[in-house]
Homo-oligomer: A and B are copies of this chain.
């Protein structure tokens, strides 16, 4: 199924908005709910142990786009939900996301997150691990109070899948024999699983038929894959570097992402020696990142990665077709464009 063969509503789904504005449009659409969600996040990250809200606030205050809870809020509205349950569940999604960020930064030994010093850099690895655990448990407490076993199932399963994706990423790290299938399994786990759960939960709180829950799940999953593909390309983007953003994090860690994988697989023997040295043996010298970027550019692997993201983006758009046109559907479609437009 591709966007061009679908009989109806092609125009309003794809490209109806300025991609740069899409996130603002979505945020404006659910502003009251998002503000309620942000208040709940601050309220529920409290603890008599003061270090917990201090550390959590470091990450929460650092902002972030709140894409995942926004998706829950918009999906619930798309499905006609008029109660307040989606606000609490959007907060759960953000808590689980925040917990994984805290643990990721410990695992990756990251010094920066969203352009600011990471929680582990400021507070140390130990409280980062434990506050991640706290936020994860707190998310489940909020879900229990909501009372839907189906929602609990969706987010517990997503949480297990995220951990599996993260472990697989560790296993494939520094291994140039990683296959595209394994790479896709990693990003389906570490990123797409929570996007899929975030949007599916929107249909579930609205008590909509299974087909709509599945459509929103497919939208979230495909969007998540597209999002991560673009992220993985941006890590080698010269234009990002020109904007003063960090590039090369994945390279320094020897993460096997699609741009690298495609470059390695199309490389001659001499280039393979280079890739093995920098990624497998992690012997990196000045100029190696630039050389890697040049090799990827000459092989067109960054464009190929973005192209792949576009395919997943189209799948996400297709999944929205069963919903009637309206501001929510247009906003969710716009987010697909936004995610891919980041690559420019």
* Contact A164:B103 (CB < 8 A) given known A129-B129, A153-B144: no
A1 within 8 A of B: no
**Interface 1/0 per residue, A143-172 and B, CB below 8 Å:** 110010100110011011011101110110
**Cβ–Cβ contact B133 & A163, under 8 A:** yes
Tell me the residues in window 159-202 of chain A with beta carbons closer than 8 Å to chain B beta carbons.
159-160, 162-164, 166-168, 170-171
**Cβ–Cβ contact B159 & A140, under 8 A:** yes
**Cβ–Cβ contact A167 & B51, under 8 A:** yes
Copies in the complex: 2
Contacting residues, chain B, for A117 (C-beta < 8 A): none
**Cβ–Cβ contact B171 & A131, under 8 A:** no
Report the bound CA distance from A129 to B48 in whole Å: 25
Contacting residues, chain B, for A36 (C-beta < 8 A): none
A8 within 8 A of B: no
Tell me the residues in window 37-51 of chain A with beta carbons closer than 8 Å to chain B beta carbons.
47-51
Contacting residues, chain B, for A103 (C-beta < 8 A): 129-130, 133
A136 within 8 A of B: yes
21 pairs from A and B in contact (CB 8 Å cutoff) = A49-B167, A50-B171, A52-B167, A100-B133, A103-B129, A125-B125, A129-B129, A130-B166, A130-B167, A131-B167, A133-B136, A133-B166, A134-B160, A134-B164, A134-B167, A136-B159, A137-B156, A137-B160, A138-B160, A140-B156, A149-B149
